[in-house]
Amino acid sequence: MSAAQVASLSAETVTIEERTPFQIVMTRFRRHRLAMVSLVIMTLVLLITILAPVIAPFEVQELSVNKYFVPFGTVDEETGRVHYLGTDQIGRDYFSRLIYAGRISLTIAIISTLISELVGIVIGAVSGFFGGWIDNILMRFVEFMLTIPTLPLLLIISSMLLRNEELIPIPEPLLRFMGNIMLLTARDSRNAVLIIIILAGFGWLNAAQLMRGMVLSLREQTFVEASRSLGASNYRIITRDMIPNAMAPIIVDASLGLAGYVVAEAALAFLGFGIQDPIPTWGNMLSASQEFMLDRPWLPLVPGLPIFLCSLAFNYIGDGLRDALDPRLKL
Amino acid sequence: MRNNSSKDNYELVVVKDLVKYFPVRAGIFQRVKAWVQAVDKVSFTVREGETLGLVGESGCGKTTVGRSILRLIEPTSGSVSINGEDVIQMRAQSLKIARRNMQIIFQDPYASLNPRLPIGESVMEGLHIHNVGHPKERWDIAISMLKKVGLEDYHARRYPHEFSGGQRQRIGIARALALQPKFIVCDEPVSALDVSIQSQVLNILKDLQNEFGLTYLFIAHNMSVVEHISDRVAVMYLGKMVELADREELFRKPLHPYTQALLSAIPIPDPTLKRERIILKGDVPSPLNPPKGCRFHPRCPWAIEICSQQEPEFKELLPGHWTACWVAEQNL
């Protein structure tokens, strides 16, 4: 039954304030001060990156001839636009690039998280629910993958994939869609999509283990047996009894995962295996500025700050959610 | 007090030689090292409209019997027929249809409701699974079921954590009843509740039985509760059924020494009343390795030689009164 139908049925009987689990969680979350501050910061950062085309005074690739490394707040005499954060080594507006870069970096982090949690939920649920040889095969594979040091493998795979376009064919509409989100051409968004695939390809492992553990404990719960005795199918039990009750740790894992992906993307780009200049990301801006960092220390600090802020904020939000979703804590 | 003679004698549930052994696995290859003989060749019938009480101490297999009948556990062997249909042989599709007629009420009211579903949705769940009516009708049925167990319509959108144990148990009853089953296994439905709430839930169960003509298999370990609600009572010990009789007969004239010991343990709220208590020596043996012969013989005050060698048959010693005991058989 939809929420609207429920509401229409009960319109005349509402006398007592109803508190859904969601409302209870929100009340608890609001008490976590650092998490609330982080939420505000993240909302601001997201808003700025969403509104990038409106806010940015310059185009991403716009070169200002003969104005390399101008200081903060320099005004462009011809058009009156301001280089809030100066320009980089070839005269591109640093602030504009920073917020466009945020759009790309955050998109990669968010979509990688969504994909890896989704894959993790499905594989973990199947593995835990059906057990037996399915569980054995899936979990041994996950454990095997987890023993491999991630960063070197990420480097190898990304250099392989980024150089051989035909290795993984990605459908054109998907590229165009992703390009629209990140304000890139379909061709340029290909690398971003590949990075997402690589990051999510390793990211689902933890989520799958987490989900499997939850399903194993939920499987023994009486309400699952009750559903079975009502004649519910496995699919219904998984989607209605297992997944909603396993969401709390998954949500926490996702928010911590976001922090990890922001850093991982930056690390890949910093080492030169991520998305390449001229497309800006926080990671490759950091990477490009390292040559000049002794003379002009703000150049690495400017893209470093949002990486630091976002990963910190996502971690605090994760902490806040962990506390808020813990059913043992009464409000 | 209900009158047995007016009852229809149609045997709605027929359980024959039900066996459930749980494997014990050990070692790196997870080989089966032993079997826990939870239920061993249990046979009984439940007549339409009656309440059969099933008693026994912890670990005697009474819950396993209840769940095996409903195929929530796959029994090792034996047959169970409900309303003439063999439940054990059923394949998934026909089993799903058969589940409309058989439901269960659980012991732990705190664990038996999905904490993420409003209780109205929980009650509707069975209707949805079996495609009964459209969503509006299902909601109406759920509300009417909640009202039958003494809850109000505005409760339907609340979540389980907002209810007390007794209320949750009543919600569990409403959920089991929503599909209008014929047969309900009540698996210790009141043992987790306060004494004051127990009678309330028992009375609801009785009222609903009268209204819908329900048949109950009432599993319990509390003899007073069983005496209150049952028409007939079955007693289990270590995976075996030892006695089965009409309630009055069983409480007045128990034939099996174990039943006598159980009955003598019922507390009587009268300090001046002296009575003989039968104290059983020793512990219940492990179902991993039950005693040879009669499973009760190491603790039995009556035990004779044959008890340790040959298993007594579960026989109808008096009309309607079944017992598995060598000594009781000889004494008659």
* Distance separating alpha carbons of residues A270 and A81, to the nearest angstrom: 30
Identity of the residue numbered A64: S
* Distance separating alpha carbons of residues A326 and A329, to the nearest angstrom: 6
> How would you label A305-327 residue by residue, b for 16+ Cβ within 10 Å and e otherwise?
ebbebbbebbbbbbbbbbbbbee
What residue of B is the nearest CA neighbor of A235?
B129
What share of chain A in percent tops pLDDT 90?
41
Q: Scan residues 19-58 of B and list those with Cβ closer than 8 Å to A.
A: none
Determine the pLDDT at residue A15.
46
For residue range B148-188, list pLDDT tens digits in order.
999 998 999 888 888 889 999 999 999 999 999 999 999 99
Among the partner-chain residues A221, A227, A232, the one whose CB lies closest to the CB of B111 is A221
pLDDT exceeds 60 at position B285 = yes
- The DSSP call for residue A295 is T
Identity of the residue numbered B199: S
Q: Mean of the pLDDT values across residues B306-328? A: 90
Among the partner-chain residues A5, A18, A225, the one whose CB lies closest to the CB of B158 is A18
B104 and A226 within 8 Å at the Cβ level: the answer is yes
C-alpha dist (Å) from residue A101 to A107, A188, A258, B34, B155: 10, 13, 16, 64, 51
Q: Which two tokens stand for residue A173?
A: 């509409």
What residue of B is the nearest CA neighbor of A225?
B72
Q: Which two tokens stand for residue B183?
A: 């047969």
Crossing angle of helices A186-219 and A132-147, rounded to 10° = 130
Residue position matching structure tokens 């994760």: A318
* Distance separating alpha carbons of residues A70 and A49, to the nearest angstrom: 24
Considering chain A, what is the average pLDDT of its residues?
85
Q: Which two tokens stand for residue A45?
A: 């950062």
Crossing angle of helices A298-325 and A21-30, rounded to 10° = 130
Global pTM value: 0.83
Please, are residues B176 and B105 in contact by the beta-carbon 8 Å criterion? yes
Residue position matching structure tokens 């759009």: A103
Cis peptide before A278 (omega within 30 of 0): yes
- What domains sit in chain A, N to C, each tagged with a CATH number? 20-324 (1.10.3720.10)
pLDDT exceeds 80 at position A77 = no
Residue (of A135, A141, A266, A295) closest to A211 by Cα position:
A135
* Distance separating alpha carbons of residues B146 and B139, to the nearest angstrom: 10
Distinct helix (H) and strand (E) counts, chain B: 10, 12
Of the pLDDT bands very low, low, confident and very high (cuts 50, 70, 90), residue A66 is confident
Identity of the residue numbered B233: V
* Distance separating alpha carbons of residues B140 and A113, to the nearest angstrom: 41
Determine the pLDDT at residue B3.
44
Alpha carbon B134 to chain centroid distance?
34
Q: Mean of the pLDDT values across residues B253-266? A: 90
pLDDT exceeds 80 at position A76 = no
CB atoms within 10 A of CB B222: 16
Determine the pLDDT at residue A1.
47
Q: Mean of the pLDDT values across residues A139-150? A: 91
Q: How many CB pairs under 8 A join A and B?
A: 89
pLDDT exceeds 50 at position A94 = yes
What residue of B is the nearest CA neighbor of A244?
B116
A225 and B159 within 8 Å at the Cβ level: the answer is no
Which of B116, B127, B139, B179 is the mutation pick for testing A, counting most A CBs within 10 A?
A: B116
Q: In terms of pLDDT, which residue wins out, A41 or A274?
A: A41
Of the pLDDT bands very low, low, confident and very high (cuts 50, 70, 90), residue B6 is very low
